[in-house]
Structure formats: structure tokens, C-alpha cells
Structure 1
Amino acid sequence: RGGKEDAASALSITHTPPRIYVPLCSVFVVTLVLIAWVLTEFTNSDVPWSDSFTTALSIVGMWMLARKYVEQWLVWIVVDVVCCGLYVYKELYFTAGLYGLYALIAIGGYKKWIRMMEEEK
């Protein structure tokens, strides 16, 4: 295709189909537990479950982004808010502020995608 995607094959912004939630939650839980186990057994992390939560949810968010599901922005908001708290706990205030900014950007992205989705109708 020469690097260009034709309009018929381009993904549109949509809501996440309800049938996807159970598999997504399953992937999240399995990934959460697996990463937490690795962090607990093989690292000296003092926040293995929080780190695991944000990583597992980020994996889900990236997949949702690739499918152009509007709710992926809600996932990023949760990830960013939890990361913000985690970095405050770690006394990494600049990084916490950065993730607070990311949360605000994600809120803006969610609102924009909702508008774009409605315009496509």
C-alpha cells in the first residue's frame, strides 16, 4: 500500500465493545499477579503491587489505544493518577508532577476523542 492506509480500512474511534471487558480484565489480572510475583521474588521493590498495577494497566491501555477505543483514555487517567501518588510516596516530586500533567492531558484527550467520535457519526 505504499505506507498509506485507505479510508475503508482505517479504524474509527469507538466505544469498547462489552464482550471485550472480560478478556481485558483477565489479561490485566494475570499480568498484575505475574509482574507482582517477579517484583517480589527478584527485586527489592518496596511497592511491587503498585508497580505491577500501573504496568499491567498500561499494557491494557496500549492495546485499547491500538484498537482506538475511547475508554483507553480513562485507563490512562487511572494509570497517571496512581503513578502520581506512587511518585509522591517515593519523594520524586518532579516526576509526580509530570504524571499529574499526563493525567490532565489524558482528560483532554478523552474529551477530544468523544467529540471526534460524535463528529464521525
Structure 2
Amino acid sequence: MNLHPWIQLLTNQFQQTTFWEWAAVILSVAEVLLAKANNLWLYPTGIAGTLISIYVLLIAGLYAESALNVYYVVMSVYGWVYWIKKRDEPPVKISWATRSEWVITLLIVFVGWAVLYFILKNYTKSNVPLWDSWVSSTAWAGMWLLARRKLENWILLNVSNLFAIPLLFYKKLALFGLLTVFLFIVAFAGFYQWLEIWKKDRSKVSPSGGDLEGASL
């Protein structure tokens, strides 16, 4: 297999990378590392990176992705305030989505996809309305599940990432594409980490609903 054309394509895309794209990607990576360290600075770092990303994505004509990042900013501000108020309280338990939550998730995906596609197709100059709207609707569904601490959030987010990677390279946003590859890998790790936490929580509860740690021997 001749890899030279692909290497040349990637090199050309890196040469066209702007200062703002570099800034957005560096801040996004810093946000992920701060989140892993459970550090409050993940929020201001993420907000700064996302605001820059909105500008970069608008220039590239990825309007649904830009709108998605506006939502990220709002949720980051909310998370920042919520963290300060609730950081000393026990977190919501990780669990699997219920049937009703899956219905809502699928509605977000497919209704969101249809609405975003209609808007992009009729009211923007997007040349990838179907693709762009799908990436955003699946990410919205994933974030909704994430907010509810559902294991399946990682699956929906990686469906979004899987389609976003070639879309970003197509739009000559090589750094954003590589960042999404990184996030794709992180999501796999996140899923298995959450699964282990869920299993540990389950092991502490007896079949009758009691706490095994507090049961007498």
C-alpha cells in the first residue's frame, strides 16, 4: 500500500493550519488532562478552547458543529458553577440507560438530525449538511446521557467521533481531526472505567438491596 499520497495530504493540511486551530486543540487537550486530574481549571480552559473552536468551525463552514460548541460553552459554564457548589457532595451513581431514556436518546438523534439537516440545507451554505447534522445530533444525545451519568454516553459520543474524524479531514482541519481521534480513544477508556465503577457499586449492594459492607457476618 502506497502511503505517500496520504502523508503528503496530511503534511499539506498541517501547513495550512492556523494559529487559532493550534490554540483550540492545545486548550482542548489541556481540558481533557485537567478533567482526568479532577482539576477545577478544566472549565475555564475548556470554555476558552471551545470559543476559539466555534470561530474555526464557522470559517470552515461546519455550522452544526459550531452550534454544538455553543452548547458546550453553556454546559461548561453550568458545570463550573455546579462543581463549585456541589463538589463536596457524593456524585450521581453511574448506571445503564432505561428503556424510556433510550427512547429519548433516539429522538434526540433522529429528530435532531432531521431538524439540523433542514436548517443547514435551506438556510446555510454548508456543502455537508447531512454529515454535519449527524455528527452533531449524535453528540447531543451522548451529552444528554453523560449528564445523567449513563454508561451509553460513551457509545453515542464515539458514534459522533467516528463520523467527525473524516469530516474534519475533508474540511482540512487536520489538527481537529487528530484531536477527535484522541477523544475517540479516550471515550473507549472512559467506557471501561465507568463500567468498572458500575460493577464495584453493584458488588456493594446485596440482592435484597442492602449494603454488603454494612452487613453483619
Q: TM-score, normalised on structure 1?
A: 0.88
Residue in 1 aligned with 2:142?
A: 61
Instruction: Tell me how far apart the structure 1 counterparts of residues 182 and 85 of structure 2 sit (CA, whole Å).
Output: 33
**Count of matched residue positions in the alignment of Structure 1 and Structure 2:** 118
> Between the two proteins, what is the percent identity of the paired residues?
24
Alpha carbons 2:164, 2:180 under 8 Å: kept: yes
Instruction: Tell me how far apart the structure 1 counterparts of residues 132 and 190 of structure 2 sit (CA, whole Å).
Output: 24
Matched, 1:31 2:31: no
Residue in 1 aligned with 2:85?
A: 3
Structure having greater relative contact order (Cα 8 Å, sep ≥ 6): 1
Q: Which of 174, 181, 186 is equivalent to 1:105?
A: 186
Alpha carbons 2:161, 2:184 under 8 Å: kept: yes
Matched, 1:46 2:127: yes
Q: Greater CA deviation, 60-69 or 82-91?
A: 82-91
**CA displacement at 1:31 relative to structure 2:** 1.1
| Amino acid in structure 2 at the alignment position of 1:3 | K
Residue in 2 aligned with 1:81?
A: 162
**CA displacement at 1:6 relative to structure 2:** 4.6
Partner of 2:184, secondary structure, is helix
Partner of 1:3, secondary structure, is helix
Q: Where in structure 2 are there 5+ consecutive unaligned residues?
A: 1-83, 203-217
Alpha carbons 2:143, 2:157 under 8 Å: kept: no
Matched, 1:120 2:213: no
| Amino acid in structure 1 at the alignment position of 2:109 | F
1:44-77 Cα shifts (integer Å, max 9, x gaps): 1111011101111111111101100001001111
| Amino acid in structure 1 at the alignment position of 2:85 | G
Instruction: Tell me how far apart the structure 2 counterparts of residues 19 and 44 of structure 1 sit (CA, whole Å).
Output: 37
Instruction: Tell me how far apart the structure 2 counterparts of residues 27 and 98 of structure 1 sit (CA, whole Å).
Output: 25
Residue in 1 aligned with 2:172?
A: 91
TM-aligned CA distance change 1:88 to 1:119, over 3 Å: same
Larger radius of gyration: 2
